Every structure is written in structure tokens, then in C-alpha cells.
Amino acid sequence: MREALVVGGGPAGAALAIRLAKAGTDVLLAEKEAEAHHKVCGEFLSQGAVLRLHRLGVLPEALCAHPIDRVRLVRGERMVEARLPFRALSLSRKRLDEALLERAEFAGVGVMRGLRVTRLEREGEAWVNTVSLGGDGRSKSVFLASGKHDIRDRHRPPGGHDDLLGFKQHWRLSPDATEALRGAVELHLFDGGYAGLERVEDGIANLCLVVRKSAFSAWPELLDRLKRTPLGQRLEGGEPCWPRPLAVSAIPYGHVQTTSDGLWRLGDQAAVIPSFLGEGMAMALMSAEEAADAYLDGKPAGDFQARFAKAVGPRVKAATLLSRRLVEPMGQRLAMAAPAFLVSAVAGAARV
């Protein structure tokens, strides 16, 4: 029986596995995707996330992350800009997550790619996991870091704001639009949703948005609608890097796991903060740090889960309330009237 199994090789799973392996724990990480892949994400790395990545030995700067120090809010014909209280970075998840997994392998983690864990069952002192390729394994402890995806029979409740769809598409923008985005992240507010636009590495821009299910019928229709807003000026003359966007539905924004059935839940399995209003990756990395410390101190999973919920719960709740307002016309008007408030709310929520 192995000591620890980590399910999922995103920031939470990889960070936890690195820390345990460095402390001498025999740890296996199962990642369902066989290769580096894109994920629905704004790809904005706050200062907190960058610091935590540095501690793991992963340097986004060395991976050509784009620096960001300003945020612009855009609605209708109005645009307001504010300086961020910290320097952020922006890097594609494909590059970042791959660097984390490489770091994990280097630290001695047994990284199994293309291996999906389909079921987890408790049998006496052991966790038995079933995998997609058939067969099963036994571990003393299991860290569930499967992000957006729930394992069979272990579903998260819906959360406080769960009627949003998420989309992401990388774009090669025109030279003018690429230059206009230097050092800035733009948040475009539109009827029923909001979209983030920022540069990542190699001169590519990431368009990532959430939209209410009721305001969505099909991607081409939504894109046409967005092109009739100021976002259209940024996209004009540009080309999407992929024919169709990546999409995610039923995001349980606002979910916070307060108890444990013996599993250690990390990252989005521990708490889901709304996109652009808090910093999911920093929280995922923080959950990994705290879980690793608790595990290595011999504490039970329940202790960590309760403490983590207490630390991040109020921020997740505040960001969820804000997110509900930000898809409504009145909330959007208020955000435009007080952009500094929104920026400080975002920065405060991000500072985990």
C-alpha cells in the first residue's frame, strides 16, 4: 500500500505532491490528461500565486509570463483604469501546469499521466481507487485535487452562484490591440456576464468569460454580440487560435468544503471562488501548502478542511455576492461608478 495518492495534476495537486515528495513521502499523482493541455481560466496570476509558485521552484517569469500592473473596466462606451496594488503575471495554464508537473517529477513524485481515477472507496485503513484503465490501487491517504471534475459519488453541492457558463479562447490579436494590452488586464462587462482579456506568453491574448446560462444560446451568437461592444475593437483584425472555445458549465462558485470524510480536498475541491473576483490559483496553492503541513504534522484531514474553510470562507462568500451583482445591469453600473472599490475588492479577495 502506498502512502499517498494525489488525484489531479493542476496547481493544487502538483503543489501538494511536490511538498510531500520533498519531505520524503512516497507519493503517486494521477492526472487524467495524457499531455499538456489548455484549461478554462483567465490565466491571471496574483502576487500571492507567484510567491507560492516561487517557493515550489517554478518561476513564471522564466516561462515568459506577461507582467500586469493595471486593470481596466469596460462597459458600453466607458472605460476606467486603475493601478493594481501589486504586480501580477499572466501565463497560459498549458505552460504553467506542465511546469508544475515537471517540477513534481523532478521532486520524486510518481506522475501517472492519462490515468483517470473513477472511484474512491474506504476499506478499513486503506483508500481503494479504481482507475479508467481498469484495476485498482490502495493508499493510506488520498488528496482529491480534481478541480472542476467530481469523482463518482463524491459530488460537491452547487454553491451560491451556479448559473454561469465559462469559456476561453486564445487569440492572436492585431499589433495595435496587442500593444494596447501591454501591462493591463481588461474586464469587459456585458449583458449577462463579464469577460477578461489579457496577454499571456508569446504575444497571444487570452479571452476568458462567464455568462449566465439564460443569456447564452450558442458561441457564434455570443461572439457576434461581444464584437458589437468595445471588446470588438480589441478582437478586430485578430484571429482565434482554435476554431472553438473551451467551455465549462455548472461551476459551483461559492462552494466551501468544511468537513472531511477522510479525504483531503484541495484547490477547487476545497473552495471555488468566482473568476476575476478572487484568485483561484493562489487559493489552490495555499490549500496545498496548508494540507501538506497538516499531513506532515500527523493531523487528520478534517482539521485541515475546517481550518482552510475558516481562512478562505469569508472571501469566497464576498466574491460570490459580488459575482452575482456583476452579471446584472445595476451591479455593472455601480462597478463602473466606483472602479477603485472593485479593484480593491478583487485585490483583497486575491490576497490569500
Ligand X SMILES: Cc1cc2nc3c(=O)[nH]c(=O)nc-3n(C[C@H](O)[C@H](O)[C@H](O)COP(=O)(O)OP(=O)(O)OC[C@H]3O[C@@H](n4cnc5c(N)ncnc54)[C@H](O)[C@@H]3O)c2cc1C
Q: Where along the sequence are the contacts to ligand X (CB under 6 A)?
A: 7-13, 30-33, 39-44, 49, 116-117, 145-149, 151, 166, 208, 210, 248, 251, 267-268, 275, 279-282, 284
Q: Which is nearer to ligand X, 149 or 176 (CB)?
A: 149
Residue ranges of E strands in the chain: 2-7, 27-31, 44-45, 66-75, 78-90, 110-113, 117-123, 126-131, 136-144, 164-172, 184-190, 193-199, 205-212, 239-240, 246-248, 264-265
Q: Which is nearer to ligand X, 85 or 174 (CB)?
A: 85
Instruction: Please name the helix (run of DSSP H) or strand (run of DSSP E) that holds residue 62, with its range, or none.
Output: none
Is residue 7 helix, strand or coil? strand
The grid coordinates listed for 207 are 479571452
Least separation, in Å, of the C-beta of 1 and ligand X?
19
Name 282's Cβ contacts closer than 8 Å, sequence gap at least 6.
45, 46, 48, 49, 52, 350, 352
Is residue 75 helix, strand or coil? strand
Least separation, in Å, of the C-beta of 23 and ligand X?
20
Which one, of 279, 252, 295, 290, lies nearest residue 351 by Cα? 279
Least separation, in Å, of the C-beta of 333 and ligand X?
23
Q: Which is nearer to ligand X, 185 or 294 (CB)?
A: 185
Q: Which is nearer to ligand X, 202 or 236 (CB)?
A: 202
Q: Which is nearer to ligand X, 28 or 294 (CB)?
A: 28
Least separation, in Å, of the C-beta of 77 and ligand X?
25
Name 11's Cβ contacts closer than 8 Å, sequence gap at least 6.
49, 96, 97, 100, 267, 281, 284, 285, 288
- List, as own/partner pairs, every contact residues 82-85 make where C-beta atoms lie below 8 angstroms and the sequence separation is at least 24, other chains included: 82/339, 82/340, 82/343, 84/343, 84/347, 85/343, 85/344, 85/347
Least separation, in Å, of the C-beta of 316 and ligand X?
11
Least separation, in Å, of the C-beta of 44 and ligand X?
3
287, exposed or middle or buried, with CB in 10 Å at 0-12, 13-18, 19+?
A: buried
Least separation, in Å, of the C-beta of 54 and ligand X?
15
Q: Which is nearer to ligand X, 181 or 281 (CB)?
A: 281
Least separation, in Å, of the C-beta of 27 and ligand X?
14
Q: Which is nearer to ligand X, 7 or 58 (CB)?
A: 7
Q: How many residues does the chain have?
A: 352
Q: Which is nearer to ligand X, 5 or 177 (CB)?
A: 5
Crossing angle between the packed helical segments 280-296 and 11-22, to the nearest 10 degrees: 30
Which one, of 275, 244, 36, lies nearest residue 148 by Cα? 275
Least separation, in Å, of the C-beta of 143 and ligand X?
11
Kindly tell me the sign of the dihedral angle through the C-alpha atoms of 172, 85, 286, 308.
negative
Q: Which is nearer to ligand X, 43 or 332 (CB)?
A: 43
